[in-house]
Chain A
Amino acid sequence: EIVLTQSPGTLSLSPGERATLSCRASQSFTSDLAWYQHKPGQAPRLLIYGASSRATDIPDRFSGSGSGPDFTLTISRLEPEDFAVYYCQQYASSPYTFGQGTKLEIK
């Protein structure tokens, strides 16, 4: 099983700042990685697939980079609606595991 470790656990920033979220895999794979945004009471939202491709209707302030084992999600300028929990997920091999999440909170 591929274990994904996200860091930091919590990130406290202000609107307008840049956010950098990390995801490290226990085994190397190329680009079978996705990022999701999850707000309380809502369904998760796909942001990035293939490590760096934005999903439909995702603003260009969200970008993904990296290849196994290290991946990064960057939010260039935080908007108030961006404060949420973010998960990485690998689909290189079953079981399709998630990281434990990074909570992005308003400073």
Chain B
Amino acid sequence: QVHLVESGGGVVQPGGSLRLSCAASGFTFSIYGMHWVRQAPGKGLEWVAYIKYDESIKYYGDSVKGRFTISRDNSKNTLYLQMNSLRAEDMAVYYCAKKFGNYDAFDVWGQGTMVTVFS
């Protein structure tokens, strides 16, 4: 069964850092692009970042560019999101999601991990 499990969320002060992980199972992780998507409390979905299966391409949303870094370890079937210089507006549930074949739609999602930015 295809599974994505996020971890690493928590409470951090403004300006702080956090690294999220996403463990994949049930599919060949190393051949799929992966995304991070977030949802702030009471708000809609916001795409955050994308990484190609071989790390050769990375894209970021404008609101996180220069502060967040997406990476992956195909030997560990794990996706990461390093978040630096966190702001109050970064507070959200963060989901990892699998790219759907040749489409940059998201066919498998994790349950999400909550990041709280709180002073």
Contacts and interface: CB of A to CB of B under 8 A. Distances in A.
Interface of A: 1, 32, 34, 36, 38, 42-46, 49-50, 55-56, 85, 87, 89, 91, 94-101
A49 B103 contact: yes
Interface of B: 35, 37, 44-47, 50, 59-62, 95, 100, 103-107, 109-112
B24 to A, nearest CB: 14
B32 to A, nearest CB: 14
B107 to A, nearest CB: 5
Q: What secondary structure prevails in chain B residues at the interface with A?
A: strand
5 contacts: A42-B111, A43-B109, A49-B103, A87-B45, A95-B62
Given A49-B107, A91-B104, A99-B44, 12 more contacts: A34-B105, A43-B111, A44-B37, A49-B100, A55-B107, A85-B44, A87-B44, A89-B105, A95-B60, A96-B59, A98-B46, A98-B47
A57 to B, nearest CB: 11
Contact of A44 (B59, B62, B103, B106): B106
B36 to A, nearest CB: 11
Contacts of B61: 95
Nearest to B62: A95
